[in-house]
Structure formats: C-alpha cells, structure tokens
Structure 1
Amino acid sequence: MGKDLMDSLKVWKADDEAVLILRQLNESDTQRLIAFVKGLSVTARYFRFGQGDYDPGLDDALRVCRLDPEQGLHLIVVTPGDAGETVVGSARYVIQPDRSSCEFVVVVADKWNHHGIGHQLMNALLSCAKNQGLQKMYGRVLGSNLDMLKFVKACGFEISDSHEGPWLKIARIDLQPLASASG
C-alpha cells in the first residue's frame, strides 16, 4: 500500500446531493481540523474529548496531522466549497504498544450526523487496520453517549464496562474474522 494506508479517495453524494470525499488527513489540513473541532457542539466535544470547552491549539492539531503511518491512521470526510474543503467527519486509530491492536475514535459534525459519514469512516478504518495486520480494534465510549454505543454495536463491536466502571464502556472488535471472511 505504500506510505499511505488508504491509497484512494472515496467520493459519494449525501441525500441532499452534497459531495463528500473520504481521504487521509495530511499536514495541510491543520487549520481545517481546528475549525472542525471548534464547530462541534459542546456535547459533541464532551463526548469526544471529555470536556465540552475543548479548544484545540495549533500544536495539538499539527501533532494529529503528522501521524506516522507506522503509528496509526487518520481519515477525514470533507465537502468541497467555494472557500475550500470543510471537514465534516474525522476518524483515526492509533496502534498500541503490543503492535496487534489499535484504539479508534470517530466524530462527525453535528449537522452531518445520520448521513452515513460515520459508517464510511468506520468501514475504512476497519479495512485499513485489517490490511495493516492488526488483530483487534477498540474504543472508549462514555456510557451516556447512547448514539455512539448504538453506532459501534451496529458496526459489529462488542460493548462491555471498562475496569473503571459502567460510566465508561469499551467497544471491541476482532479484525481476524473480517480478514478470513473477505479473503
């Protein structure tokens, strides 16, 4: 696959005919990523970052945009416009020290929820993680984030309480059945 884990773009149209492009994040997306996070609702920022007033700085955004492919993958969904691309969804996984598992995060802009963007991002993450030879993917989800819990369950993840208690859930999926089923 080369340096990029996702070698091609995926382009489709939303129900309202808006063009959506799924692609790998790169350093030129830094300001777009900052604008995306700042545009999330307080609730969405709380569910994603653990604090509703999270405000990403340039250093944080640059660190995220410079993710080494050996350490993980970060994908975004953008919609083109007269002023350039606007990020409407973001997902990534980070490979854990055991080198066989990864932790994922997915967030979609509030007004773009329930348009299939999360599923497109998750399907791409799962495929790339499997192709990278990873065996398991997991994510931490607040127990109060019912939409995300429903989403990951629909994507095939198993949900359990974390060792910290039922307020924090762990969503896990074994990537090996995906590998043997498709190949």
Structure 2
Amino acid sequence: MPTSPIREFPTYPRHAELPPRSRERFAPVASPLSHAPRGEVVHTADGRELVLRDIEPGDVAAIQRCFQRLPPQDVRRRFMHAMAELPVSMAQRLCRIDPELEAAFALIDEAVKPAELRGVGRIFVDVASNTAEFSVLVEREWTRIGLGALLMQRLVDESRRRGLDELWGYVLMENRPMLQLCKELGFVATMVPGEGSTAQIRLTL
C-alpha cells in the first residue's frame, strides 16, 4: 500500500517570535487621528487654539454654561431682549438644528475640561425669499481677536454655497464692533422703521 507523504511543519527557534493569533491579526488598527479634534483647528490673534465645527446635540450643557458667563448687555445684544437664563428647551433647540433650513458653527475650547463653547454663528434660511437671517455670539473674553470675523465669513460662505440671494440680520446700534465688522464685509445698514436703536444689515450674495 502506498503510504501518505509525511507532512513537515515549520519549526521555530525557542526564542523566535511566533505568528500573531488571529484575533490580533484582524483586530482594527488604531488610527493616529482617532484622538484628533472633530472640526477645524483655528488660532486666535493672540495665539489661543479653538476647534471650529458644526454645532451638535451634545453641546446643550456647553451652550448653557456659555450663556451663564455672558453679561446682561451681551445677552440683550444677541437675543434683542433681557433673559436671566437659557431654558433647557431653548438650548436643545439651538443645538439640534434642521440642516435643510439652518447652519450653525461653534467655536469649542478643548483646552479646558469640560470643553467650553466660546462662540457660535448661525443662519436661518427663509425658503420663500431665498435669503437667510444670521446671528453671531462670541464670549466677552474672546472678543476682539478675530473670532467674530471668522464666524461671519463662514456664514457668508455657507450662504453662497446654498445659492442664497441675501444674508441679513438685526444689530443694535450700540453694538458698534458688530456694525463695523459687517461694514468691512460689505453689508449695508438701514434703520428699522420705528426702532431708532436697531439697524437691519444686508449683504447681497
């Protein structure tokens, strides 16, 4: 009878490295970017680092903490009236946007724990008129270092990307820095009839 050939198995020196086990061979490889911040890293004029990204539903607590740090004057400039606190329902609404009709960009400070929201810019699209209303808020200690201009430019770019005809918003006349910024970006200001303290600013896209 023919005999089966003898199979030879490889032998390894006692101290040689053995092949990895299957669970190790097929384990997912950790990406070097796995801990990279979501969004775009930006630097302020004074050298501080922030992450610019879309606002997320998980930012509710951060946006409430940001509101608590705002002086009453800044709250009135942003919301056009006094508010003692930002209700949870409103914070949730501001963080859970409809991407078809809104866009919101947040500036996140990841140098602290928990990460804090230092500024946010958003647009609300009016489909009927093919325009969008904007709003921008930057925390007081983070103003005058280019963040307002950064957010406004992103809103202009997003509005153009969507093919909108015009970007507009309301600004209190006392908010001189915002009025000056919008003027530099090409916005035209007109007084709101019957409201001597408020201007409507518009940019044809």
Indicate which of 98, 102, 115 corresponds to 1:85.
115
- Give the match for residue 181 of structure 1: none
- Give the match for residue 67 of structure 2: 37
- Give the match for residue 13 of structure 1: 43
- Give the match for residue 74 of structure 1: 104
Indicate which of 147, 161, 164 corresponds to 1:131.
161
Contact persistence 1:44–1:52 (CA under 8 A): no
* CA displacement, residues 24-81 of structure 1 (integer Å, 9 cap, x when unaligned): 1010111111111111111101111123444111100111111101111111111112
Secondary structure at the residue paired with 1:83?
coil
Which amino acid is the alignment partner of residue 149 of structure 2?
H
Which amino acid is the alignment partner of residue 162 of structure 1?
V
Which amino acid is the alignment partner of residue 93 of structure 1?
I
* CA displacement, residues 62-112 of structure 1 (integer Å, 9 cap, x when unaligned): 111111011111111111124132111111010114151010000100000
Distance 2:95 2:112 in 1: 23
Which amino acid is the alignment partner of residue 103 of structure 2?
L
Q: Percent same amino acid among aligned pairs?
A: 24
Which structure: larger Rg? 2
Shift of 1:12: 2.0
Distance 2:196 2:203 in 1: 19
Distance 2:142 2:58 in 1: 23
TM-score by length of 2: 0.77
Unmatched segments (≥5 aa) in structure 1:
1-7, 176-183
Unmatched segments (≥5 aa) in structure 2:
1-37
The number of aligned residues is 168
- Give the match for residue 120 of structure 1: 150
- Give the match for residue 91 of structure 2: 61
Regions of 4+ moved over 6 Å: none
Distance 1:52 1:109 in 2: 17
Distance 2:190 2:98 in 1: 30
- Give the match for residue 202 of structure 2: 172
Is 1:108 the counterpart of 2:138? The answer is yes
Greater helix content: 1
Which amino acid is the alignment partner of residue 155 of structure 2?
L
Is 1:163 the counterpart of 2:193? The answer is yes
Which amino acid is the alignment partner of residue 81 of structure 2?
Q
Contact persistence 1:18–1:79 (CA under 8 A): no
Is 1:145 the counterpart of 2:168? The answer is no
Distance 1:106 1:164 in 2: 24
Cα RMSD over matched residues? Answer: 1.6
Secondary structure at the residue paired with 1:20?
strand
- Give the match for residue 58 of structure 2: 28
